[in-house]
Each structure stands twice: as structure tokens, then as C-alpha cells.
Chains A and B, each alone.
Chain A
Amino acid sequence: MRLVVDLNRCQGYAQCAFLAPDVFAMHGDESLLYNPEAPPEQREDVLRAVAACPVQAILLELTDEDMANMPAADAAGSSAPSGGPR
């Protein structure tokens, strides 16, 4: 799972750090640090973080490995900025 956060857009609301704490973390009061390559086990948490970001700052690309065993409804319903499989 690859991701990048548009930190110009990010307002430090920390929703992502709350929902996927293994991938996103606040550094000080409002700087966001994240792991740009998250392991497949984090998929559900990261999808929730992407959907919850109030400014839609997170761009996510799911690889084939991430998509394996993904329920069809979920895959279709994942939010707009995610990249989908290649």
C-alpha cells in the first residue's frame, strides 16, 4: 500500500493518526509523519483514515497484494482519492 499526504492541504486534524496509528503519527502539535509504504494488514485502518480526512489530503494506491481477499463491496466503495489496483 503506497500513500502520500498533500501536506499543503493537511490541516493537522489528526483523524488519520487516530484511525491508523501504526501508519500516521503527529509530531509535535500539528506536524504529520506517516509511513509512505504501509503493510497490507493495515489496509482497513488506512482506508478508514483516507475516508475520514476532512480535507481529502491522503492519496492511496492499493497494490494487488492489498486487494487480495478484499470483499467486493468494499473494493468498489473505497473513497475517491485512492488509486485502485494497477
Chain B
Amino acid sequence: MTTAGAHDGALEHLKREGRIVIVGASLAGLRAAETMREKGFAGSLTLIGDEPHEPYDRPPLSKQVLLGNAVADHTTLPRRRAIDADWRLGVPATGLDMAARRVRLGNGDEVEYDRLLIATGVRARPWPNAEEASLDGVFVLRTRDDAVGLQRALTDSPRRVVVIGAGFTGSEIASACRERGLNVTVAERGSAPLVGALGGVIGEVAAEMHREHEVDLRTGVMVTALEGDPSGRVRAAHLSDGATVEADVVVVSLGAQRNTEWLAGSGLGAGPRGIACDAGCRAFDVRGIVTDDIYVAGDVARSPHALFGYQFLSLEHWGNAVAQADTAAHNMLSVSADRRPHLWVPAFWSSQFGVNIKSVGVPPMGTEIMITQGSPAERRFAAVYGYQGRVIAAVTFDNCRWLPFYEHQIESTAPFPPPFSTVDRRPEGNKPVPADFPDPSVPTHGPTITLSGYSPADRKMTFTPGR
């Protein structure tokens, strides 16, 4: 028998009666499970999730649900097919034994695997002061249960809501509050909403949108403390500029933390930045050696991307979770020659103040920006981001039909500034301006794309060999 034949035999065996375990029973976990069954995996499939719910969809939680157009408990994800899985819901994975190929659970059980997929995502970064965070009326928004609580609090007609952090989620929450006629104050450490994700030029447009909708937007300030009343209900937020804002509801929207603590000491290359993997979704161990039986997908993964200088990207994007899960599932059931790279062009949408915001590519890599169509003043435009003379990303406000065009420009490394002239380009769009991203060493709450690691083109690294 040839080596290839032996490999095929092992693979056939895996497909027929192997054991696949997925940790993280949400979007990426579910879509991966479906793909595995579609590819004919007939062995045992176990899905482990610490939430008690079947996989559900998160984007509606800060949109439809807060607007009152959908019920949080009705966001269960539709299935593409039956997956015939052993569901372990409401119990966290607490450890991984790579040598014995075993996942430990919070209830003491152990589950053995031949192939493991890790899709544990991220969680909301909590308010740093635990006592203040536990006051009644203080929320984060990541899970269905969070949304149920927040939606209920908004229905009780609070006199004022304070949103801490003006990333996408914070901005969507502020927008929903205004649509419900609630008074809302947004406190943002950066110079404008969305600056971490889209830069200062677009951030200024977002700031105007907030103000037009009578959001009390405070930028360049931090919330220093939350104050409760004697009964333990939140009543005010104190700001770094000395101001005090009275509020009955406070939503902490400071971005996310990756769910990797359960892998501490396991030997897998997992940490606060996520789990590093190769382009084929195979996880690295702490020594930088790629594993062959452990894969990662979704918000928790960080993987190198050829289009973006092979930098490691962590994406908190719905579409990425779906695409990466699909690739991971395919590769888990393939011999090496048949594996595919995960080379998804990052894409994201948001909906706030009735405006559809979409982006493709990696805006935070952009150093310059140019409005190529429409006009920010009308809240209908397209803008492209440039990096070293090429188009690296694009964003549209109510102009999404142009996005596939710009996506193609990114994929074909088209020149920046774009040489073409569009029918509706305005005078202000004739020249590129600095994209105005905050200093990357200063953390922002919600960039949704994190570049972690240096581009090989930058010579910033010093290697100090261990002794």
C-alpha cells in the first residue's frame, strides 16, 4: 500500500466511525457541524456549549430585539440540515489534554476526540469594577440572556440610558434607544464613534449622525465610576471631565475578550489575542508547531491572510464565522492535498440611525481614505482606504450595491488612489486624506478586526533566543 493509500484509509475510518468534538455551540460551531455531515461524516459528533440555548443569532440582539421588532428568545439559528449531534449544553469545557485527546467539562465529564474544533468566540468585556458592574441596571450585550434583560429595562421607560463605548454595538444600542424615544448619553474615550474600526474621517460622520438624532455624545472622555443608590440600583455615571450623568440604565460596551482561558496550560497556542492557526484553520501549539487534529474557527481564531501581508487577523464578523467554520470542517475531513485556505475578504455590516453601514477589507490597515462616491453630508457615500499605494478596504453608508465592486478592487490589489472617475464623485472626493486611525498601541474598545503580529515587511521585531 502506498503512503497516500494509508492516509486515505485513516481518513475513511475517521469519516465512518471517528469522533469529532466541537467546543462552542454557536454560529461557527453549528455551521461546521452541518458541513461535516454534508461531507459524509458518519461518526459521532459532540457539541459542547456553556450557554443553555441551541445556537442562536447575535446581530439581531442589538438591532431588531432592542427596537422591539423581534423577541430575543426567537433568534435560534435555522439549520441547513439535520446534524444528529450529541449536545452538551449549559456546561463549559474547562480543560484540554492534547496528548490524550480529551476535553474536560465543568461537570467532571471527559470527552475524547479524534478531531477537535474550537469555536468558543468572545465575550463582552465587563465593567472593570466588579462591585459597580453588579449594580442593578448595569448591562453588557453579548448573549440572548443579556438582551432579554436589557430589552426589559428599556421597556420600563428609564429616564436616561448611558452607553459606555461607541463601537458598533454601543452605537446600535444608542440608535435603538433614540428610536424608542429614550434619552441617551454615549461616553467614548476616542475622538468619535467607530474610530477604532473605521478611522477619524468616518468617525466624524458617525458623530454627526449621533448628534442629529439627539444622542448626548461625549467624546474624549472616560467613565471613571458608576454610582448606585442604597438599594443597589445604578443611578449615575461619573466622567473623567468631572461631569456626572444621572441614569437608570448603563450599558457597558467596551468590546470583547476571547474565550481562551479554559486552554491555559494545555500547550495550545491560545491567549488573550485568541488562538493562532494556519491558513487552513489548524491551531498552533505554544511552540509554534501546527497541530494536525485541532482546528479553530470564528471570533476566537487568528489566522494569517495573504492579501493583508500575512498578518494575523482576528475578526469579530458574522460572515467570517460562517466561512471559516466551513473551511475548518472541510479541512478536518480532508487529506493535506485537498485542504483549502481560509482566505475570506473581511466583510461586515451594521445598521444604526436607519443607515446601512457596510465594509470590506481591513480598514484599520489603511493610512489614507478617499470618498469615491456620493457625499458624507448626505449619509450616502462610498469611501476606499489606501495602504502603500493599493486599495485595502472600503466602507459604504447606504450605498451597499457598490460594495462587491470594491471587494474586487481589494482582491486584485487595485491602485490607490483609484484612477477611475465615478459618475457621482463630488469635489471633496478628489483627493485622499489621512484615514486618521488612533495610535494602534492605544487599545480601542471595538475595532472588530484586530491585526495581531507584524507584517513581514515591517522590520520591528527583535528575536532574543532563549538560553
A27 x B354 contact (CB < 8 A): yes
Complex partner residue of B79 from A7, A28, A33, A83, CB under 8 angstroms? A83
Q: How far is the CB of A80 from the nearest CB of chain B, in Å?
A: 10
B355 x A35 contact (CB < 8 A): no
Question: Which of B60-68, B150-158, B417-425, B428-436 is found at the contact surface with chain A?
Answer: B60-68
CB proximity to A under 8 Å, residues B56-83: 57, 59-60, 63-64, 67, 69-71, 74-82
Q: How far is the CB of B314 from the nearest CB of chain A, in Å?
A: 18
Complex partner residue of B78 from A25, A27, A35, A61, CB under 8 angstroms? A61
Q: How many residues of chain B are within 8 Å of chain A by beta carbon?
A: 34
Which residue of chain A has its CB nearest to the CB of B399? A30
B79 x A8 contact (CB < 8 A): no
Complex partner residue of A36 from B64, B347, B349, B401, CB under 8 angstroms? B64
Q: How far is the CB of A25 from the nearest CB of chain B, in Å?
A: 8
A44 at the interface (CB under 8 A from B): no
Chain A-chain B contacts (Cβ-Cβ < 8 Å), number? 83
A83 x B80 contact (CB < 8 A): yes
Per-position 1/0 for A1-40, Cβ under 8 A of B: 0111011101110000000000001011111011111000
Q: How far is the CB of A34 from the nearest CB of chain B, in Å?
A: 7
Q: How far is the CB of A37 from the nearest CB of chain B, in Å?
A: 4
CB proximity to B under 8 Å, residues A29-62: 29-31, 33-37, 59-61
A35 x B64 contact (CB < 8 A): yes
B residues near A (Cβ < 8 Å) are 57, 59-60, 63-64, 67, 69-71, 74-82, 318-319, 322, 347-349, 351, 353-356, 358, 380, 398, 400-401
9 further A-B contacts with Cβ under 8 Å, apart from A8-B358, A12-B400, A37-B70, are A3-B78, A7-B349, A8-B319, A11-B401, A28-B351, A31-B356, A33-B70, A83-B78, A86-B82
A residues near B (Cβ < 8 Å) are 2-4, 6-8, 10-12, 25, 27-31, 33-37, 59-61, 83-84, 86
